[in-house]
Chains A and B, each alone.
Chain A
Amino acid sequence: MMTTINEITCNEKPQWCVGCGDFSVLMGIKTAIAELGIAPHETVLVSGIGCCSKSPHYVNTYGFEALHGRSLPVASAIKLANHKLNVIAISGDGDGYGIGVQHFIHIGRRNFDLTYIVCDNQLYGLTTGQASPTTIKGTKSKSTPHGVIETQFNPIASAIVNGATYVARAYAGDLKHMTEIIKGAITHRGFALVDVFQPCVTFNKLNTYQWFQERVYKLQDAGHNTGDKMAALARAWEETNSEYKKVPIGVFYKENRPTYEDELPQLKEKPLVWHDISNVDISKAYAEFE
C-alpha cells in the first residue's frame, strides 16, 4: 500500500507563525505516515488545545481535536475501540505536561500501542507566552515576570520512570532525524513518547533555533544503549546537569513489553467496533440474581 504526502494533505494551509517548529513537526508526521505506507483512513490524529493541537485540521486522516489536556484519554479509547487503527496523539507542553499531566503519568504503565508527540516549545504559545512546566528556571514570562521559581518538569525521565516503552526526543530543526524518530515511534508496539523541541519564534526568546543548534547532539552518535534504563535516565538529566551545555536528542529508551491491548482477551479475535451487537444474548446473566 502506497500513501503519498499529497494524499494526506488538505486544501487548508496551516496558520502558524513563520518559522514555527509546528510546520516541521507536521511535515515529520505526514512523511512518516507516507513512508510507512499507512492508509489515510487508518490513522487518527488526536490533539488537545494549543498551537500544535490544530494539526489534525491539516492532515487528511481521521482527526479529533479534543479539550485542553485531554488528547491521551481520547486517543486511548479510540485505540481500545479499534486497535487496528494507527493512533497518534499530539499535544503541547502546557497541554500534555501541565493541565493533562495525570494522563501522561499513567499511560506509560498501561503501554497502549500509541504514539504521543509533544511539541515542546517550553511555554504556552496560544495564550501568548506564559511559563509552562518545561520552562527553564529563572525565565521571565507574562505569568512569571519575576522569573520561574520551579525547576523544570522532565518529560523524558518521567516517561522512563512511569513505564513508557519508547522514549525519544527530536528537534524541529532537524526534520530528517525527527521523521526517523516518529517512524520508530509509530512502528514501536507500545506507548511511544516523542518530545520535540520546537522553538516558539514569537514568544520564546531564550530557546531559539540558534540556542538548540549550539547544544543538541544525537544519542545514536554517542554510543548510547537504548536498552539500558539507568543510562537512559542519566541522559535524560544531562540537559539540566550540564547547565544546558549539552542537549541530547534521539531515542533514550526502548523496551519490548506486551501492550495493554495484548493483555485483553476481548480484543484477541477482532476490534470491539467490529462486534455484532444486533442481538446480545444475556440469558445467562440472570442466574446470579436468582
Chain B
Amino acid sequence: MVDLIWKMGGQAGEGAMVTGRTLGKTFTRGGLNVIGYPEYPSLIRGGHNTYQIRVSDAAINSPLQKIDVVVALNKEGVYFHHANLKDGGALVYDEAIDISKYPIRADIRKCPMPFSKIVAELKALPQMKNTIALGATLALIDYPFEKLESVLADEFRRKGDEIIKQNISVAKAGYDHAKAHFDCGTFKVKVKPVSDKRKILIGGNEAVGMGAIKAGLKLFASYPMTPASTLMHYIAEKEHEFGIVMKHTEDEIAAMNYTVGAGFAGVRAMCSTSGGGFSLKVEAIGLAAESESPVVVYLAQRVGPSTGMPTWTEQADLRFAVHASQGEFLRVILAPGDVNESFALAWKAFNIAEKYQIPVIIMSDKFLGESHFSTDRFDESQVRIERGKIAKNLKPLPQGGRFKRYLLTKDGVSPRPLPGEPNGMHVSSSYEHDETGFSSENFQMRAKMVDKRARKIKQLLAEDIEPPTIHGESMPQSDITIICWGSQKLPALDSLPILKANGIKANVIHFGFVYPLDAKKVKTLLKSANRTVVVENNSTGQFAGILREYVGFKPNFKMLKYDGRQFFPEQIAEEVKKLHDAGWKGKREIRVVEKEDVEYYYPGHYQI
C-alpha cells in the first residue's frame, strides 16, 4: 500500500494552494486517491500558507500529521515543518535558505533546489518555482512526469500554448535536477498510477454547489465570508450555464431575505455564509418558518465567537443553528461527512425544504468545505425532485375571499400556490395568521398554527430523516464506538486502521442528519454499543448534549478539540488507546490540543 504525505509551505500569495491542487490532479489522473488540505491565515500577502497532499492506492479519508516530503518555498516552510517529517523523509527547499541554523535531523534527505537559477535560465516568472518543485517531487517518488504535463496543459489552456510550454519546461527542469542530484532511486516512498480512470478532485463547498445545481437551484444570494465563499464563486461561475441567478447582495441580512422571497415566489433558493453571517441571518430564518417559505442555508463553520480565527475550522455552531431565531419552529440540520454526502445532502435539502415548507440548514466547516477529496463521479441515480404541495389549476375564489394558503391539514403541510397562479391570491406573513394568511391573534388559531407547523415532523422523520451510518466493526464486536457528526467522520474513519493495528476493536457512527433526530431508533442503536466516545470539534460537546436532550443517551466519553484544527486520525487513535490501556476507566472528558508550535498569521514572532 502506498500512502504519501506531501506538504508545500510558503508565504501567502506564493501560490501553494493552486500548486497543491495541480499535484492532486496529477495523482487523480493516475487513478489514485487524493486528499488536498490547505491551511492559511486571513491575509492576502505575508503570513504562512501550506497545502498538504495525501495520496494512496487504498481508500483514505483524512489528512495525517507526519509528512514524507516537505517543499519549503521560504525559511518558514523549513522552520515550521521539518520536525514533522517521517524518518528518511525529504526536505525540498530553496537553496537560498541557510538550513544549517535549524536542528534538522540527520535522517532527513536534504534536497536544495536552485529555483532562481532555473527561473533565470528559462526566462520564467519567479512564482514558477512552485512548478519546479512539483517536477522535483515527481522525480523523488518516481511518478510519471506525463501526468503532470497533462494537468498543466489543461490548467493553462486558456492562457495559450506558450504558457503551457513554459510551465512544462520549468517542471521538467525541476524533475531533471532532482534526478541528477538527489539519488532519487533510494527514496523509500514510490507512487505509481493504478489506472487511467480519471477521478474528480473536488472541495466540499463545490460538491454542495453541484448538488444544489442538480436539485434545480435557481436563486443563490450571498455575501462573501470565509470559508463559505468558494461555494458562492462556484455558483457565480455556473449561473449562465445552468440558468441560475447568483446575487451578491449588499449584506448578509439581504441575502437571507432574498432567499426567503425567492422561496416564496417558487424557485429553489439558497444562501451561504459562516457563523458571523449566520448571526445576521437568524431573524429571516424565522421569517421563512413563519411564512412557511422553503429555504436552504449553507453554514460553513469557522472558529468563533465573533471574528475568531476566520480561516480555521470548528464545529461550534450546532446549538446556535438548532435554536437560531426567536420562537419555536421546525428546521432540519444536515451535516455532510464527505464530498459525496455534500453532494447528496445538498439535493436532499431542497426536497425537504419544499416538501415541508421549512428552513433547511446544511452545516459544513472550513475543513470539509475547503479541502479537496478525490472521488468517482457523484451518484446521480438516486436524485429525485420532490416539490411538495405546489397548488395549480385552482377554483375561482369567492368575491373578496382569499386562498387558504395555511389550511390546517392533517400532515401540517398546506397547499402552496405560487405568485402568478390565478385564484391563488393570499398573503404570506411574518405575523401569526389564520388559514388565509390574514393576521390573527386569536388564541385558538395561534395554537392551531403552532401545532400545524410542528406536526410536519411526523412525516419528516418517517420519510426523510436518514439514520446514522455505521463504519468498521459491528456494534457488538466493537470495544468502543466513536460517535461523530459532519466533517469529523473523516479523521474518525482513518483512526480505525490505527486502532486495529493496536489491537483495539472499534467502529464509527456518523450522523449526517443531525437534527431533528429519530429518538427511538437512535437510542436503540446507541444502546447496542459496548461503550461510546463522542468526537467533536468544539469545547463543550454540543452534539453529545443534543443526544442527551433529545435521545436520552449519555455517551461514556467526550473527546473535544477547539484549537482551530480538525482532529487528525492519529490523535483520535492515541486518545482511544489511552482509554483502552486504562481499562476504559479514564476521565470522561478528553481535550486534544495540537502540539505543533506554528503561527500562520504572524510568523514574525518567531526567530526564524
Contact = CB atoms under 8 A, between A and B. Distances in A.
Interface of A: 6, 9-12, 39-42, 44, 46, 49, 54, 56-57, 60-67, 70, 73-78, 80-82, 84-85, 102-103, 105-106, 264-267, 272-273, 275, 277-280, 282, 284-286, 289-290
A162 to B, nearest CB: 11
Q: Which of B426, B430, B439 has the most C-beta atoms of chain A within 10 angstroms of its own C-beta?
A: B430
Contacts of B218: 81, 272-273, 275, 277
Nearest to B383: A279
Contacts of B419: 41, 44, 62, 78, 82, 85
Interface string B230-241: 000000001111
Nearest to B264: A64
B144 interface: no
B556 interface: no
Nearest to B260: A74
A92 to B, nearest CB: 15
Contacts of B241: 284
A280 B214 contact: yes
B486 interface: no
B244 A266 contact: yes
A70 B424 contact: no
Contact of B262 (A39, A65, A67, A77): A77
B166 interface: no
Contact of B424 (A62, A74, A80): A62
A84 B216 contact: no
A180 to B, nearest CB: 26
B387 to A, nearest CB: 8
A38 B422 CA distance: 12
B44 to A, nearest CB: 24
B261 A74 contact: yes
A103 B214 CA distance: 31
A290 B200 contact: yes
A78 B267 CA distance: 9
Interface in B248-268: 249-251, 253-255, 257-262, 264-268
Contact of B429 (A6, A9, A61, A65): A65
Contacts of A285: 210, 213, 238
A69 to B, nearest CB: 8
Contact of B213 (A6, A41, A280): A280
Given A57-B439, A272-B219, A285-B213, A74 B427 contact: no
B602 interface: no
B269 interface: yes
Contacts of B216: 275, 277-278, 280
A106 B250 contact: yes
Interface stretch (B117-125, B397-405, B500-508): B397-405
B605 interface: no
Contacts of A10: 400-402
Interface stretch (B4-12, B171-179, B283-291): B283-291
B215 interface: yes
B29 A81 contact: no
Interface of B: 25, 28-29, 198-202, 206, 210, 213-216, 218-219, 221, 238-245, 247, 249-251, 253-255, 257-262, 264-269, 283-284, 287, 291, 377, 380, 385, 399-402, 418-431, 437-439
A75 B377 contact: no
Contact of B402 (A54, A60, A76, A85): A60
21 contacts: A11-B400, A44-B265, A57-B427, A62-B419, A62-B425, A63-B429, A64-B291, A70-B284, A75-B261, A78-B265, A80-B245, A81-B267, A85-B420, A265-B240, A272-B218, A272-B244, A273-B418, A277-B268, A278-B216, A286-B377, A289-B202
Contacts of B258: 73-74, 76-77, 80
A63 B221 CA distance: 21
Given A282-B214, A289-B202, 9 more contacts: A41-B419, A63-B437, A64-B428, A74-B258, A77-B269, A81-B261, A82-B418, A106-B250, A273-B265
Nearest to A277: B216
A290 B26 CA distance: 9
Given A277-B268, A290-B198, A103 B438 contact: no
Interface SS of B by simple majority: mixed
B287 to A, nearest CB: 5
Nearest to A65: B429
Contacts of A44: 265, 419
Contacts of A73: 249, 253-255, 257-258, 261
B438 A67 contact: no
A41 B385 CA distance: 26
Contacts of A54: 439
Given A54-B439, A266-B240, A64 B429 contact: yes
B264 A78 contact: yes
A103 B221 CA distance: 14
B259 A82 contact: no
Contacts of A70: 253-254, 257, 284, 287
Given A12-B438, A42-B420, A82-B420, A277 B215 contact: yes
A6 B244 CA distance: 38
B602 to A, nearest CB: 34
B180 to A, nearest CB: 32
A44 B287 CA distance: 17
B234 to A, nearest CB: 9
B281 to A, nearest CB: 11
B262 A81 contact: yes
Contacts of B240: 265-266
Contacts of B247: 76-77, 80
Contact of B261 (A65, A78, A105, A265): A78
A105 to B, nearest CB: 8
A49 B290 CA distance: 14
A243 B135 CA distance: 76
Please provide the 6 A-B residue pairs with the shortest distance between their CB atoms, ordered closest to farther.
Answer: A277-B216, A77-B261, A63-B427, A81-B265, A74-B261, A73-B257
A61 B218 CA distance: 24
B214 A77 contact: no
A214 to B, nearest CB: 37
